[in-house]
Every structure is written in C-alpha cells, then in structure tokens.
Amino acid sequence: MTMTVRFGTDGIRGRAYDEITTDLAYRLGYAVASVFNTPVFVGYDTRESSPPLAAAVLAGLRDNGAAGVNLGYFTTPGVAVVARQRSGVGVVVSASHNPYFDNGLKVLGLGGGKLDHATEEAVAEALNVAPSSTGPFEEVAIDETAEHDYARHLRSIVPRDLSSLHLVLDCANGAASHVAHELFESTGARLTTINDRPDGRNINEKCGSTHVEGLVAKVVELGADLGLAFDGDADRLIAVDAKGHVRDGDDLMILFATDFFERNTLGGGLVITSMANLGLHHALQATGIAIVETDVGDRNVLMSLEEQSWTFGGEQSGHLIFRDLAPTGDGLLTGLMLADLVVRRGPLAEQAERAWQRVPQQLINVARESYDDEEVHRLFEELRADYGIDAADVRLFIRPSGTEPVVRVMIEALNGEFVESFAARLQSIFLA
C-alpha cells in the first residue's frame, strides 16, 4: 500500500531513502509518462542519493512507454532550458540548498516551466496510483551534448567580453561544479573557483549561497572584482562585491530593475515577494518602478509575472527570474548578467550603495514543533510598545517553510535596536 503524496512549494522533498525513496522516484517517472506524451529530460545534483533516484525515475518512464533522456549531473535551470530547446518536459532530482541527506523530485512542464496547479494535481493523482518497483534499475547512458548546449545558450544571451574582471565562483559542491567553470571561462574573465569538488556529501556544506563566509574571505584575499555563490542545483545566486559585502536578491533586483528601466527594457514593473526588505519598497517607489508583491516562492513570482505580462521579478534568497530569457530562475544566467552589469556600470558595491538603503531585518527559523504563534505576536506587541514604534515603521512576517520543517519569522524595522532585541528574545524563547 503506497502513501498518498502531495507536492510542496518546490516539488516533493524529504529525507533520502526514507521519504524520498527509489520506489517513489520510480512511481513519479511512471506518473510523468502517464500525463505527458513528450520526451522527458532527467537531471540530478551531486548528492550521493541522486544517481540512484534518477535511475529509478528513468525506469518508471521507460516502463510506461516514455522516452526518458539522462542528462546526468545537471542544474535545475539547465534541465528547464534543455526541455524548452528540445520540446519536452523535465524531472530534476535535487533538494536545492538542503543538506546532502535530503533529496527531492521536481517536475518541469512543457517548455521547462513550472507546472500549473491543474497539471501538478494530475501528476500527483497519477503518482498515487502508479505501480511500485524497488529495482534494480539499469543505468541509462548520459547525453553528453546537453551540458555544452546549455552553456552555449547562456553565452548567447550574455555574449559580453568579461576579461576585465576577476571572478570567484562558489559552486556549493553542487550541480554548478560541472558547468560553471566552462561557462565563465568562455567569457575571458580571470577565474578562481571554490567548492567545486563534490563527493556526494559535501553539497551546500558550509558553502554556496546559504554559507557565503568562505566566498567573502576569498574575494577579499584575492582582491577580486566579484564573487558569485550558487546553491546545490544552481537556480539561485548570492553575490559578494569587491569590498566583501554580501549582496542578496534584494540588492540584485533593484540594480537590474533600475538598469532595465533606464534602458526602457523592463517590460512593465518588478514582482517581489513578501520577504523583500522594506528599503527595497522605498527605493523602487522613488524610481517610479511599479511593483507587485506576492507570496514567497519563485513559482509565485513566475505566476505573477505571467499574470502581469511582466518580464522580471525575484526573491531575496537569490531566485531571480528573467521571464523573456529563461523558463525559470537560473543562478548561472544571473551571474553572467551581473558581471555584465558590473562591466557596463561600475563596481557592484558602488552601484548598490547608490541605489538603496537596507532597513534592518532578521530572519529566525523556529522548529515547527516548538513554534507558538500567540507567543510570537505577544512578544512583538510588547516590544513595539516598549520602543514606541509606529506600526507603519515595522513589519513582522511569519510563514512555514515549504522545503524544511521550520517556521520562518522575519522582523524588520527602521529601528535596528528593536530588530536585534526582538530576534534575541525570540531565539532565547524558542532556540534555547
């Protein structure tokens, strides 16, 4: 008897071999073959569990009559591009920025885009009635041409000579390790690459977009112009400027949006999420750029872009979507475009300092089993009264994570001391 499976905000995710099993992967492949009548391109990240899970997906596709293509180690946005180029759909085995012992299964629709809700439900229903299999599963030959096609495609979008720059790339020991060096080497830039030796267990481990301390140190040590940190499946980017300052998605969105706006290529306004810093709102309003705020999640950003017929949006976490250029967020594309921006408009630090001022903000992750909503709101109102802060000058945002068993509590205010006090009190209550 199989368990009923539901898709979360980013596919199905959980502990590898416990929640994300080869049987589940086989059934997902079988389900995708039931819903789509196109080639299915399967890529996976560098976790030790990913190749066996991908083999199970490919077996499920084969057993239900689908043409499954093994892309091998591949970034999530790379799978999306290949699916678009070759008129198919995609399946990605990855848990993105999670630790190596987690994994996930994500389905990309026709043209490599996110599944709409109806299609996702159809895949879920087919998965829950699909036959089981525990293998063994045969190895499928890897299409060795796809990665090079993907790299050439990105260079065609950003063809600029970057030989004036020294770039440091942090590949998070993830999927970018197999393509980032080739891609950025073709730009002529001087390269230093770190965390590009995956061993199956070191993906995202104290590196990449969620742990940028090592990248900051390396950029400062080498006097590099720019640091680029990817996550495990390379769909997001966090940057480090030449002064060693971390520049997240909020920084990058204001810079790209302003550049597009001034060149009359913005294509509407900017879609942001509820996690965007209050300072970003203020800066965008000052420029006259229209904004729409949506719930957290790159899928929600993409859906809003499509509804507005706009071309650009993103998240503070580094998911940036250039809808006219790519079917989904792509950290490598964002990195190329950022390097291009630096060549055209000057050092990243100077651009960011001119563009906006960040409002003090902190994000605290609280384990779901210990979270108490009433206690959080009581603390918030108590401290707000103590500091005499007007409700318009502070924001509390709470949401359950769609990818981890935590509740994310975000606090921001014009008064930085209030933010620090609230975060410290919250951590003393829930994280002691």
The residues annotated as belonging to the active site are 96
Give the burial string for 366-402 (b: 16+ CB within 10 Å, else e): beeeebeeeebeebbeebbeeeeeeeeebbbebeeeb
What 346-354 contacts at long range (C-beta under 8 Å, 24+ apart), as own/partner pairs, is: 347/225, 347/241, 347/242, 348/225, 348/226, 348/239, 348/241, 348/242, 348/247, 348/255, 349/241, 349/242, 349/243, 349/245, 351/255, 352/241, 352/245, 352/247, 352/251, 352/254, 352/255
Q: From CA 395, how far away is CA 391, in angstroms rounded? A: 8
Helix (H, G, I), strand (E, B) or coil at 199: coil
> Which residues partner with 356 through β-bridges?
none
Q: Pairing state of beta strands 320-322 and 166-170? A: unpaired
Strand partners, 237: 230
Indicate the Cα dihedral angle 209, 293, 111, 13, nearest 10°: 50
Phi, psi of 196 (to 5 degrees): -125, 30
Residue length, the chain? Answer: 432
- Are 409 and 426 in contact by the 8 Å Cβ rule? The answer is yes
| Cβ atoms 217, 245 nearer than 8 A | no
* Euclidean distance between CA atoms 384 and 403, whole angstroms: 31
Query: Interior CA angle at 56 toward 55 and 60, to 5°?
Result: 120
